[in-house]
């Protein structure tokens, strides 16, 4: 059977992605994170089929947010799923669901655009405590096409990678551990501060500064801003 040009391009992109970050899959890394930290409260933005959401312990209270969830795997009974955007959740629902300081781990895997990831981080951090961990997916782009702001193929990381740069420039208080989990990296962000308003206060400035940056900037600067760590051997105690 012949493969259409569109599907062929997507398959090539997926192969290239795996060639670049030859580590364990991000789902394997997430599973080990859950097993190590055993969070009491876990929040995930962008749950899609629920595969990553289902990795949590049965004892963990899970919150899943996605405007169009398509759950295809069993999730634990302590899971609440909100079929809405993360912006809507944090503007209308959060007060009845999450207490300040109650989030142990959060996973951002929603809309793959810088400004969306930035808002998600800002909103999540308010409900964290001093040992919380915020995990950011798709933060290590693998090629030009998949890192564009407009999606043109199946495999798409968008420009979420700019969050790493913005945090290193404006939030030097946080610690970023960038793992080489396939296919496009996981950033474990610790030392978060629920009282910080820096990103919120500078939101418009950050969007004006980082949205226009292109993939070429990443290629020139990835050595300094994106030192990746072997996910398979990473000691999670190092994030504190």
Segment 173-194 shows an average pLDDT of 97
Phi, then psi, of 216 in degrees rounded to 5? -60, -35
Segment 107-112 shows an average pLDDT of 98
> Is pLDDT of 73 > 80?
yes
CA atoms within 13 A on the CB side of 164: 28
Q: What is the CATH number of the domain that holds 182?
A: 3.40.50.150
Segment 210-231 shows an average pLDDT of 96
Tell me what pLDDT residue 142 has: 92
- In a domain, residue 85? The reply is yes
- In a domain, residue 211? The reply is yes
Any residues with CB less than 8 A from the CB of 70 and at least 6 apart, and which? 48, 49
Percent of the chain topping pLDDT 70? 91
The residue written with tokens 């062929």 in the block is: 8
Q: Is the pTM of this model over 0.75?
A: yes
- In a domain, residue 26? The reply is yes
- In a domain, residue 81? The reply is yes
Residue 116: both structure tokens together: 């969306």
- In a domain, residue 194? The reply is yes
Residues 11-60 pLDDT 10s: 434 444 444 455 799 999 999 999 999 999 999 999 999 999 999 999 99
Instruction: Report in angstroms the alpha-carbon separations of 15 from 18, 142, 143, 210.
Output: 5, 10, 11, 29
Counted domains in the chain: 1
Tell me what pLDDT residue 22 has: 54
Tell me what pLDDT residue 218 has: 97
Structural domain for 227, as ranges: 16-239
Segment 110-131 shows an average pLDDT of 97
Residues 78-103 pLDDT 10s: 999 999 999 999 999 877 889 999 99
Tell me what pLDDT residue 93 has: 83
Tell me what pLDDT residue 103 has: 97
Other CB atoms within 10 Å distance of the CB of residue 177? 20
Residue among 125, 104, 117, 118 at smallest CA distance from 62? 104
Tell me what pLDDT residue 9 has: 41
- In a domain, residue 1? The reply is no
- In a domain, residue 10? The reply is no
CA 171 to the chain's CA centroid: 17
Tell me what pLDDT residue 94 has: 76
Tell me what pLDDT residue 23 has: 77
- In a domain, residue 33? The reply is yes
182 DSSP assignment: B
Other CB atoms within 10 Å distance of the CB of residue 128? 24
Residue among 45, 178, 26 at smallest CA distance from 105? 45
CB-CB contact of 215 with 141 (8 Å) = yes
């Amino acid at each position: 059977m012949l493969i259409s040009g569109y599907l062929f391009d997507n398959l090539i992109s997926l192969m290239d992605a795996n060639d670049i970050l030859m580590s364990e899959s991000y789902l394997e890394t997430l599973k080990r994170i859950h097993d190590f930290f055993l969070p009491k409260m876990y929040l995930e933005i962008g749950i899609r089929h629920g595969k990553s959401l289902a990795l949590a312990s049965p004892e963990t209270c899970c919150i899943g947010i996605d405007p169009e969830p398509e759950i295809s795997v069993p999730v634990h009974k302590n899971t609440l799923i909100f079929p809405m955007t993360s912006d809507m959740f944090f503007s209308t629902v959060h007060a009845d669901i999450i207490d300040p300081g109650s989030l142990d781990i959060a996973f951002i895997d929603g809309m793959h655009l810088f400004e969306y990831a930035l808002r998600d981080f800002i909103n999540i951090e308010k409900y964290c405590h001093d040992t919380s961990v915020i995990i950011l997916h798709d933060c290590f782009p693998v090629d030009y096409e998949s890192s564009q702001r407009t999606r043109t193929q199946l495999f798409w990381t968008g420009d979420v990678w700019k969050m790493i740069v913005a945090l290193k420039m404006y939030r030097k208080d946080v610690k970023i551990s960038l793992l080489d989990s396939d296919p496009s990296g996981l950033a474990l962000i610790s030392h978060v501060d629920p009282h910080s308003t820096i990103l919120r206060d500078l939101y418009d400035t950050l969007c004006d500064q980082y949205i226009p940056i292109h993939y070429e900037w990443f290629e020139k600067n990835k050595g300094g801003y994106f030192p990746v760590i072997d996910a398979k051997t990473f000691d999670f105690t190092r994030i504190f």
